[in-house]
Chain A
Amino acid sequence: MTQQSIRRWAWTHKWSSLVCTVFMLLLCLTGLPLIFSHEIHDWLGDHIVTPDIQHNGTMASMDSLVATAKKQNPGFVPLYMYRDDDEPLQWTISMAKTTDATSGFKYVVMDARTAKVLGEPPAEEGFMYIVFKLHVDLFAGLPGMLFLGLMGFLLVIAIISGVVLYAPFMRKLAFGEIRHQRGEKLKRLDIHNMLGIVTLSWFLVVGATGVINAWSDLLVKYWQFDQMSQMIAPYKNLPPPTQFASLQQSLEVAQKAEPAMQLGFIAFPGTAYTSQHHYGIFMRGDSPLTKRLFKPVLIDAQNATLTDSRPLPWYLVALLVSQPLHFGDYGGMSLKWIWAVLDVLSIIVLWTGLKLWWKKRRQYLPVASTRPILHKAIS
């Protein structure tokens, strides 16, 4: 590499990192508790337990679950119905005043066997909610999400330019060598380089999947425009239904259409994942990978007949596959701890990088003859 191209890469590395570092530190710090959000919720006592009761095995009808939720929160409409992998005997229905609400949500957790309300976990409050919002959109909605996505993109550039710059710095050093005895500055540089290069794959994957996630709202909107509009074309000029068919019956129709799959979640008419005229029944597979890949089955909400069902387009498959790779929630507890340690290592890379720049910046000012670290490395 010529001196000039090294200087160009150094410039790219410096500015792409500098712009995003503060936000990346925030994302790494807020990401740390989010890795364990399930465990922290349990620990905070937010977790609702399924009671141990005598039961003959038949599950409550979906219709009675919806009726119970509506009775629990008069004036609210159901949005989505889903359940936790760990609590197969519970159903949660999220509710709001309108189907397009962006806040004021309620979550009714019910017993799947008896349709009794088990509780309503706190919504939009508490430590984990603040951490989550800071991590996802800085409390700024879609613009905040896209902004963090842009910062993530800069991180990806910083990582790639960092790998290119790794070569001139390592020309005379053995892999992983840390010069402990040669002063703070060189030690810091060596730690930055070593940690940066060994965490490369992980940081790149988590960064890139984070960027994809930042686009999730827009991808769903595009899917509506691209595929949903075709699927519901015959309903285009019809007024929204006033009478709704049985949800249980609709679910059975969906199950018949996809006998090999099982119910993932239900989107109620009017929400972002379906149309005003349909129950969006999202079926999923059973293997570690296919259980994340949903297949929407649209059931006419007025007469419980099948309207259409088609596999997700590639961009939503990409989104759904990228999510676990960002969250680290797809293995066991051991993977979560590995995720946490790698997250801390990334914080050290960011911090040492920031400090290297800060010290060098001060060095430039008084004595022009003081040679910056980069020159030392390439001479």
Chain B
Amino acid sequence: MRNKSLTQIFLWPTLIAIVSFTGLLTALLVDDARELISDAAVALPILSAAYYYWIKPGASAQKS
């Protein structure tokens, strides 16, 4: 792989950080069904970690 630029390196981390942080704050402000959305935002780090640890390696191994 060629050297990645800083933007490429930090694109996904920044997005995940912003979404999960927004989720943390909105969960503080809402108390109804919208809570599901904020919970999902807070859970995004868990989902992405699970994806990259278990699902992605299997998928790319099958491809090659």
Binary contact track B12-47/A, C-beta < 8 Å → 1, others 0: 110011101100100111110001001100111110
Known: A172-B4, A199-B45, A325-B24. 7 other contacts (CB 8 A): A166-B13, A171-B4, A175-B13, A194-B49, A201-B20, A205-B21, A335-B39
Binary contact track A178-210/B, C-beta < 8 Å → 1, others 0: 101000000000010011011111100100000
Among residues of A, the one whose C-beta sits closest to the C-beta of B10 is: A167
Q: How far is the CA of A166 from the CA of B10 in the complex (A)?
A: 9
B56 close to chain A: CB less than 8 A: yes
A-B contact count (CB 8 A): 102
Contact among B11, B13, B56 for A200, CB-based, below 8 A:
B13
Binary contact track A148-171/B, C-beta < 8 Å → 1, others 0: 000000000000000100110011
* Residues from chain A with Cβ under 8 Å of B35 in the complex: 331-332, 335
Interface size class, chain A: 35 or more
Contact among B10, B38, B48 for A198, CB-based, below 8 A:
B48
Contact among A178, A321, A345 for B52, CB-based, below 8 A:
A178
Q: 6 closest A-B pairs (Cβ-Cβ)?
A: A176-B52, A198-B45, A201-B21, A175-B12, A288-B31, A201-B20
A101 close to chain B: CB less than 8 A: no
Interface residues of B (CB under 8 A from A): 1-4, 6, 9-13, 16-18, 20-21, 24, 27-31, 35, 38-39, 42-46, 48-49, 51-53, 56-57
Known A166-B9, A334-B39; judge A177-B52 contact (CB<8 A): yes
Main secondary structure of the interface of B (DSSP, over half): helix
Separation in Å of the A353 CB from the closest CB of chain B?
16
* Residues from chain A with Cβ under 8 Å of B39 in the complex: 331-332, 334-335, 338
A330 close to chain B: CB less than 8 A: yes
* Residues from chain A with Cβ under 8 Å of B18 in the complex: 201
Q: How far is the CA of A288 from the CA of B29 in the complex (A)?
A: 6
A342 close to chain B: CB less than 8 A: yes
Q: How far is the CA of A288 from the CA of B32 in the complex (A)?
A: 10
Among residues of A, the one whose C-beta sits closest to the C-beta of B39 is: A334
Separation in Å of the A35 CB from the closest CB of chain B?
13
8 A-B contact pairs sorted by A residue (CB < 8 Å):
A171-B3, A178-B52, A202-B42, A325-B24, A330-B28, A334-B39, A338-B46, A342-B45
Separation in Å of the A215 CB from the closest CB of chain B?
20
